[in-house]
C-alpha cells in the first residue's frame, strides 16, 4: 500500500527534477543568461537546458561565463546524458537536441538545411516528454525560433516565459 505522505516528486521514486526548464537564446542572449542565473537560487530542484544559436566556427565559453553566476553543476551535453536536478546543460555547436525519457539526445545538424530552429525543436520535445512539468523561456535574439515550441509547451500545460522586449538586446525572439 502506498504511503499517503509521499509526494508526486519524491526523490526515492522519481530522482529526476520536478521541472525541466528549456532556455532559448540567440543574439544578445549571453547577458540575459548571466542576469538570469545571477538571481536563480542554486537549489531549485529544477534542471535548466540552454539551447543557443552557436557559431560552428568558434569555441563557446558559455560554461566558464555561467560558472561565474551559479554554483549549479554545468554540463556540456553529450548524447544520452540524464537530466538531473540543480544542473545546467549546454547544447554543443553543430548539434540538434531533444529530450526523451529524461535524457538529452543529440543529432548532427543537417548542413544542407538553410534554416535551423533548434529552440523550437527542443521545446517541442520538452512538451512531449514532460508535459506540465515543462518550462520554456525565450531570451534575447533575432528571428522567431522558439515561438512554435512555446505553443507546444503551453498546450501541454507547461509554463512559458519571454524576456520583455524592452530589456532584450534583440527583441525578435521574445
Which are the catalytic amino acids?
26, 53, 145
Q: Is 161 exposed, middle or buried (0-12, 13-18, 19+ CB in 10 A)?
A: middle
Give phi and psi for 28, each to the nearest 5.
80, 0
**Gap between the Cα atoms of 47 and 45, Å rounded:** 7
**Gap between the Cα atoms of 54 and 142, Å rounded:** 13
**Gap between the Cα atoms of 118 and 35, Å rounded:** 22
- The 10 Å Cβ neighbour count of residue 65 is 14
Amino acid at each position: 500500500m502506498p504511503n499517503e505522505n509521499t509526494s508526486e516528486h519524491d526523490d526515492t521514486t522519481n530522482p529526476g527534477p520536478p521541472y525541466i526548464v528549456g532556455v532559448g537564446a540567440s543574439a544578445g542572449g549571453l547577458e540575459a543568461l548571466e542576469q538570469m542565473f545571477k538571481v536563480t537560487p542554486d537549489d531549485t530542484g529544477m534542471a535548466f537546458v540552454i539551447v543557443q544559436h552557436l557559431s560552428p566556427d568558434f569555441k563557446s565559453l558559455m560554461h566558464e561565463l555561467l560558472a561565474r553566476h551559479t554554483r549549479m553543476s554545468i554540463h556540456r551535453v553529450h548524447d544520452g546524458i540524464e537530466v538531473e536536478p540543480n544542473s545546467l546543460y549546454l547544447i554543443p555547436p553543430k548539434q540538434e537536441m531533444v529530450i526523451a525519457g529524461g535524457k538529452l539526445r543529440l543529432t548532427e545538424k543537417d548542413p544542407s538545411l538553410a534554416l535551423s530552429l533548434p529552440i523550437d525543436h527542443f521545446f517541442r520535445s520538452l512538451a512531449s516528454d514532460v508535459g506540465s512539468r515543462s518550462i520554456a523561456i525565450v531570451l534575447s535574439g533575432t528571428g522567431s525560433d522558439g515561438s512554435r515550441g512555446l505553443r507546444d509547451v503551453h498546450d501541454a500545460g507547461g509554463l512559458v516565459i519571454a524576456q520583455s522586449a524592452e530589456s532584450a538586446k534583440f527583441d525578435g525572439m521574445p
